[in-house]
Amino acid sequence: MSGVRVKPKVLSPSATLTRLALDCALTPAQVLQLLARREPLPFALSGNWAGGGAVVGADPLRVAADGDDPFALLDALRSVDAAAPDAVGGGWFGWLGYRLAARVERVPLNSHRPVALPDFHLAYYDNVLRRTPDGQWWFEALVTDPRRDALQRRHRHLAQLLAGPGPATAPPPHISALHLSAHDAEHHLEAVAQCRRRIAAGEIFQANICLRLHGETEARATDLFAAALDRIDPPYGAAFATPRGGIASLSPELFLRRRSRHIVTGPIKGTIARDPDPAVAAAALQTLRGSVKDAAEHVMIVDLMRNDLGRVSEYGSVVAPRLPTAEPHPGLWHLVSHVRGQLRPEVTDADVLRATFPPGSVTGAPKVQSLHVIAELERAGREVYTGAVGFASPAAGLELNVAIRTLELADGQVWLGAGGGIVADSDPHTELEEALTKARPIAAAVGTTVDVQRRALVTRAA
């Protein structure tokens, strides 16, 4: 990857992690709604983050400017005097949009942006609310002397707020059906066919080709996320609301987790619908496990992620399982592998991102050429979708999801990307249906549907 190495900036003085138990029986969705109605830049992470539970916050100390280097910012953290094993404390939280690919490689980006979001959003919080897997809420803060009194007041305020009743029950957020026109559906079919032709010509082995469903809503990202948490429990769920737009990510996929010098990525490749009937679901699982096409997709991306991690890891430390694990998710089975490595001593989080971004599972192989193919074949440019969402914390390390199954909102519009890996034997109509199969549970989680215009969808032979 291209890019100038920047020495990490360790802020001075160091911070002390403070962790105080809270008397709170509210759910993460309720806590998020309480903060979202009162304070700026609310966010929530829910699922497997930092060992499981939830992290909720608002009112950051600093918001990154458009001209900042988002990767370098992740290294601009105070050292921590002491940390509990599952504490987060604070740090940089936000998203790294797909368009940051152009900052690490000389690649084109699709210039058609129906609604644009910032290429990245990062905000620094020196206190968060943390819910551990046992249901206990904590006030966690990275305390420095200049902020000590302010954080004591912050703790008292939040303790009082969370000890009270939850937010009044609000009507479900209104969101229109997520729409795919017949023209866009036909474009996706032709894009898959074009991708197959490029594979046959030897240009690439695989590319992740996506479509976009569109809708309308006046709801905020936090409203949609809170509504979704009442229906599903995403492994790497995240919501961020900003004045320039927001996201409600219901992602099942881990992009990166760094604890100390240990790094892990969990690429998903290989998908099949999972019926509510257990017998039908079991049969589908056997079909997925026996699929040559899905196996080819999966092996290529695991090898790609091994290579990406290998660029920043100790020689010989990167390992991957021989066979993937099949995981159940809402309406789907996925094949997942966890690739692990030990980072070299001099490597920073910024170095890791520059070596691995965008995630391999949503780009293709070889990665750089697949980025060219994606820019040429997809109808609209990606925004946050297929980038990454999460945090960098001096206490909890780096943790980012792959921003799939992610609703994006701005200017009264909402959109949802969906797609899949295209290999030599991909069928365009099957790939279109797979994308819609991925989108439907997300639409249902926020109380709406997927609406596809139907007409004779025909694509030229690949």
Q: What is the CATH number of the domain that holds 155?
A: 3.60.120.10
Contact call for residues 247 and 95 (beta carbons, < 8 A): yes
3-state helix, strand, coil in the chain (%, to 5): 30, 30, 35
Q: Is residue 4 part of a domain?
A: no
Q: Is the dihedral of CA 10, 11, 15, 19 positive or negative?
A: negative
Ramachandran category for residue 153: left, alpha or beta (phi over 0 → left; psi -120 to 50 → alpha): alpha
What was the pLDDT predicted at 81?
79
Q: If you search the block for the tokens 């961020």, which residue do you land on?
A: 240
Q: Is residue 274 part of a domain?
A: yes
Q: Is residue 48 part of a domain?
A: yes
Gap between the Cα atoms of 49 and 292, Å rounded? 33
Gap between the Cα atoms of 450 and 443, Å rounded? 6
DSSP letter string, 89-107: --EEEEEE-GGGHHHHS--
Phi, psi of 335 (to 5 degrees): -95, 130
Direct distance between the N- and C-terminal alpha carbons of the chain, in angstroms, rounded to an integer: 32
Q: Is residue 32 part of a domain?
A: yes
Residues labelled catalytic: 253, 269
Please state whether the predicted TM-score (pTM) of the whole model is above 0.85: yes
Six-digit token string for 197: 């032709």
- Residues facing residue 438 across a β-bridge: none
What was the pLDDT predicted at 170?
75
Q: Is residue 2 part of a domain?
A: no
Structural domain boundaries, residue 337: 10-452
Six-digit token string for 74: 């992740």
What was the pLDDT predicted at 9?
53
What was the pLDDT predicted at 2?
36
Contact call for residues 431 and 192 (beta carbons, < 8 A): yes
Cα atoms in the 13 Å half-sphere on the side-chain side of 147:
18
Q: What is the full per-residue pLDDT of the chain (462 aa) written as tens digits?
A: 333 343 445 565 689 999 999 999 999 999 999 999 999 999 999 999 999 999 999 999 999 999 999 999 999 998 897 667 789 999 999 999 999 999 999 999 999 999 999 999 999 999 999 999 999 999 999 999 999 999 999 999 999 999 988 787 778 899 999 999 999 999 999 999 999 999 999 999 999 999 999 999 999 999 999 999 989 999 999 999 999 999 999 999 999 999 999 999 999 998 899 989 999 999 999 999 999 888 888 999 999 999 999 999 999 999 999 889 999 988 899 999 999 999 999 999 999 999 999 999 999 999 999 999 999 999 999 999 999 999 999 999 999 999 999 999 999 999 999 999 999 999 999 999 999 999 999 999 999 999 998 665 554 444
Domain count along the chain: 1
What was the pLDDT predicted at 82?
67
Nearest alpha-carbon partner for 443 in 180, 204, 205, 208: 180
Q: Is residue 233 part of a domain?
A: yes
Gap between the Cα atoms of 320 and 324, Å rounded? 9
Phi, psi of 8 (to 5 degrees): -60, 140
